[in-house]
Structure 1
Amino acid sequence: MSYVVAVVGATGNVGQEMLNILDELDFPVSKLHALASRKSKGVEVAFGDRTVKCEDLETFEFSTVDIVLMSAGGAVSKEWSEKIGKAGAMVIDNSSAFRMDPDVPLIVPEVNPDDIRLAKKKNIVANPNCSTAQLVVALKPLHDAAKITRAVVSTYQSVSGAGKEGMDELWNQTKAIYGLGDATPKFFPKQIAFNVLPFIGSFRDDGYTDEEAKMWDETQKMLDPDIRLTVTCVRVPVFVGHSEAVTVEFDRPITPDEARAILRDAPGVMVVDKQEADGYVTPVDAAGEFAVYVSRIRQDPTVPNGLSFWVVSDNLRKGAALNAVQIAQLLDESGTIQPKSGYRSITV
């Protein structure tokens, strides 16, 4: 069977990565539509060895589509996702618009695949925050083995998490500083080149940011509402790849060797953990890869039953586009959706 698929936001970083991964995973696409704003109508984007011209989101007929991969931001999703769902297409939304909606499943296939049964309520499935996705892939197998009671997470998030404007700002500031030019911030609140910013999103009344709150809200929704999390989200001058320093407390003792063995057997996880100068994974190593990498697994001697470790993943892939396509695969494999036509003949 094959599906008519539309990618909304096809000219953006994540939209383009969605097109790449649909092709890489050989997802059964009978016809693909690339959708964007009116100003991008006619712009060509790559899909495998072909190009597709962008169509106007405002005038597109969604009743002809089986699956919509939505990556155009929260405002666009709030305006369009429910309309698209009512038209009969299944929306996989990469924004935060519906993540905490009780009638919308929030899915990481390695973590809570059974929640896909809720997808037909609104014909919307939510993709988690990019930092949450990689975190829960690492936490889930450990939580199954020894219940996690508390976690402390510090993120080191790349500028691609802020979109093309974030990447452009890092590139332009770096060039300006080397060339003694103007490095005045235009997109981020402070200079990002050769700097780190302990602020992502917007401040809440409790002093945390909404980006930090997303991580504990989403982890609790997908994994366990009783896990207590405290989070500090930091933007770093890295183009692609989010990293996280994680300290976890369990309800029973668990050794680093036991944790390594559990994680090595877990879906979507790669353990690279040698006590050598290069025995860990960095964002540069993870860029372009599908896996969530775990390194630096060690005992935390300051709390009972504590472990600390380092988690890295390509935020445009597992943190966004790859997880969305994996959700599409899960919808197909679980029989949650059926294509309107069943023959596979690629047409673009």
Structure 2
Amino acid sequence: MGYRVVVAGATGNVGREMLNILAERQFPADEIAVVASARSTGDMIEFGDTDRKLKVQNIEHFDPTGWDMALFAVGSEATAIHAPRFAAAGCTVIDNSSLYRMDPDVPLIVPEVNADAIALHTKKNIIANPNCSTAQMVVALKPLHDVAKIKRVVVATYQSVSGAGKQGMDELFEQSRNIFVGDPAEPKKFTKQIAFNVIPHIDKFLDDGSTKEEWKMVVETKKILDPKIKVTATCVRVPVFVGHSEAINIEFENEISAKQAQEILREAPGVMLVDKREDGGYVTPIECVGDYATYISRVREDSTVENGLSLWCVSDNLRKGAALNAVQIAELLGRKHLKKAA
């Protein structure tokens, strides 16, 4: 016997990717409902590469009673309205928005990193999915932290426009086209031109000069991995459609060499080490699109601190940064807690 699963926000980039991954991984679902806002009601959506099509229902009118779990990709505003309603009806919510991430009664889960924390979901019947840039970073950090204990992380991100949704992708495409034909490339979604440019600004500015995206990376890493780790981040939007990259500098309490780190990462869950010290011996965003793995390259020692390493980390932000992680949480939830599948 399988599960009854709802995908909320099924018409968006992440929602569609959730459906693709549920199909790819043959998630044990006896029934799948797709829900979205009123304007999408009645639309038909493909379920992965199968011939099956699903009809979009209005989330406002959807009754979650009797459904086992719901994967939410609807944004914080709609989540605030509907997640408690679903949870109260007995349908466990796996939420991709930022709304519940720092709620002490809601576990923030990356299955390769802190799977045991999922047991806390019973407090509110809600599980939070981390920020896309945090998710891939902690997958890389966890196996190294277990061996040498991380003290401090300095990270600079290179985040694709798909992290800003379909509007971000459309803006990069339209601006690039306009520039080639000599038309204006006025920003709408972003604060400045994104085509052929980089923007050191993601989300709102905070009083200390950091952005909310940077703050998320700090506090989420502490909650998921270890509250004692010091983290500082600079988050940058780059003209890439899909795939986030990160240059990560790590300071450890204990000695660790680049060779040791490579050996650890080569065996780490969710990690693919591609680290050849030659032309092209590393992974770039375009190569990670559609893949499940978090790719690590350019592992090297940092001689400016006593126990330091630097590395390059790349992942498909619509997958590990959002949809894949949510489906992995659903799989974990089913195995550990719901126990309905045959």
**TM surpasses 0.5:** yes
TM-score range, shorter chain: over 0.9
Alignment length, in residue pairs? 340
Q: CA deviation at 1:337?
A: 1.9
Superposed CA offset, 1:303-345 (max 9, x none): 11000000000000000000000000000111x1245xx67xx
Q: 1:268, 1:135 → 2: CA distance?
A: 11
Separation in 1, partners of 2:148, 2:114 = 17
* Partner SS state of residue 311, structure 2: strand
Alpha-carbon shift at residue 221 of structure 1 (Å): 0.3
Q: What is the CA-CA distance between 1:191 and the residue it aligns to?
A: 0.2
Which protein has greater RCO, CA pairs closer than 8 Å, 6+ apart?
Answer: 1
Name the counterpart of 1:145: 147
Could you say what secondary structure the match of 1:315 adopts? Answer: coil
Please state if 1:176 is matched with 2:166: no
Q: Secondary structure at the match of 1:302?
A: coil
Q: Residue in 2 aligned with 1:244?
A: 246
1:346 — aligned with what? none
Partner of 2:292: 290
Matching of residues 144-293 of structure 1 within 5 Å: 144-293=146-295
Match of 2:30 in 1: 30
Query: C-alpha distance in 2, partners of 1:306/1:20?
Result: 39
Tell me, which stretches of 5 or more residues in structure 1 are unaligned? 344-348
Distance 2:91 2:79 in 1: 14
Amino acid paired to 2:338:
I
Which residue type is aligned with residue 246 of structure 2?
A: E
1:41 equivalent in structure 2: 41
- 4+ runs of 1 displaced by more than 3 Å? none
Counterpart of 1:9 in structure 2 is: 9
Residue identity in the other structure for 1:324:
A
- Over residues 82-102 of structure 1, what are the superposed CA-to-partner deviations in whole Å (9 max), with x where a residue is unaligned? 111011000000000000000
The Cα offsets for residues 41-84 of structure 1, whole Å up to 9 and x where unpaired, read as 01111103211110000000001311100001011111111111
Aligned partner of 1:337 in structure 2 is: 338
User: Deviation digits for residues 245-283 of structure 1, max 9, x if unmatched?
Assistant: 000000112110000000011000000001111000000
Instruction: Give 5+ residue unaligned stretches, structure 2.
Output: none
CA distance in 2, matches of 1:173, 1:294: 31
Query: Equivalent residue of 2:112, what SS?
Result: coil
Aligned residue in 1 for 2:21 = 21
d(CA) in 2 for partners of 1:55 and 1:221?
A: 35
Q: CA–CA distance in 2 between the matches of 1:297 and 1:213?
A: 25
Of 56-65 and 241-250, the range deviating more from structure 2: 56-65
| SS in structure 1 of the partner of residue 314 of structure 2 | strand
C-alpha distance in 2 between matches for 1:24 and 1:217 = 32
Residue equivalent to 1:64: 66
Deviations 1:210-262 (Å, cap 9, x if unpaired)? Answer: 10000010000010000000000000000000000000000112110000000
Where 2:296 maps in the other structure, the secondary structure is strand
Q: Distance in 2 between matches of 1:51 and 1:178?
A: 38
Identity percentage of aligned residues: 59
What are the equivalent positions in structure 2 for 1:322-333 lying under 5 Å apart? 322-333=324-335
Question: How far, CA to CA, are the matches of 1:113 and 1:249 in structure 2?
Answer: 25
Whichever residue aligns with residue 31 of structure 1, its letter is E
CA distance in 2, matches of 1:114, 1:186: 42
Distance 2:145 2:236 in 1: 25
TM-score by length of 1: 0.97
Residue deviations 1:98-123, cap 9 Å, x none? 00000000000000000011111111
AA matched with 1:55? Q
- CA distance in 2 between partners of 1:249 and 1:182 (Å): 45
* Larger displacement relative to structure 2 (226-235 or 45-54): 45-54
The separation in 2 between residues aligned to 1:121 and 1:90, in whole angstroms, is 11
TM-score (norm 2): 0.98
* TM-align CA RMSD: 0.9
